[in-house]
Amino acid sequence: MPSPQSFRIRARIIIGASLLFLILLTLFLAIPLNHSIDDDIATLRVATFQAAISQRIAKDALELEGKDMGLQVQAIGELQTMLPIFENQQMQLSEQPTLPDIQPLLLMSQADFLSMDMAMRTLLANLSAPADPIEVQVILMHERTYFLDMSLISLMIEQEGEGDKVQLFGIELGLVSCLFLLLLLHQWETERQMRDILKRFRAIHGVVKK
């Protein structure tokens, strides 16, 4: 006849194995989600940076049309510094895994980026002549839509991040609930086994329950 101690040991083994299974299941569900969150954070960082740098590019383009030589020299230096960074960050943005809903915005922003990039290169390649107002207007026109696209991408990622947090919380809550239910079931099973043992013991020894 099984002893109470054997039942306790078996219950602990079952609970431990079940807990390990639930933890592994949670990790299996959460790890891809964490990778997705990391990718989204990287995209958010680049999009926010590109939105800010595009505004600076537009400001410097306007300075090139001005008459203040000091501001023009400063604008030229900033554009020469920002251009390779702007191009590198855009390349990262286009290659970064991200949400399907963001892909159309990335494609739209790429067209604006290419127009701005070509106009900047044209301006920097002709510094000996006055700034071409057409190229400046190209930058100003495409900067506004580019900035809006980057801002919208950042907003969508932030909203998606909130949803991911809720999903992770749901996984953790489900784990705790399953564990609690498992403990209740094993407690019930242990008590039932103990009642059966006691009933057999009384039957064997002729003990009558009062």
Which pLDDT does position 1 carry in this prediction? 47
Place of tokens 């991408």: 153
- What are 90's two structure tokens? 């855009």
Q: What does the alpha-carbon distance between residue 133 and residue 77 come to, in Å, rounded to a whole number? A: 19
- Can you give the pTM of this predicted structure? 0.61
Whether 132 contacts 29, CB under 8 Å = no
Q: Which domains does the chain have, with CATH numbers?
A: 4-205 (1.20.120.1730)
- Say if residues 59 and 205 touch (Cβ distance below 8 Å): no
Token pair for 135: 């190229």
* pLDDT tens-place values along the chain, 210 residues long: 455 555 556 656 666 666 666 555 555 555 554 445 566 777 888 888 899 999 999 999 999 988 888 889 999 999 999 999 999 999 988 877 666 778 888 888 999 999 999 999 999 999 888 889 999 999 999 999 999 999 888 888 877 755 555 555 565 566 666 666 666 666 666 666 667 767 776 777 665 444
The tokens for 201 are 């013991």
Q: What is the pLDDT of residue 13?
A: 64
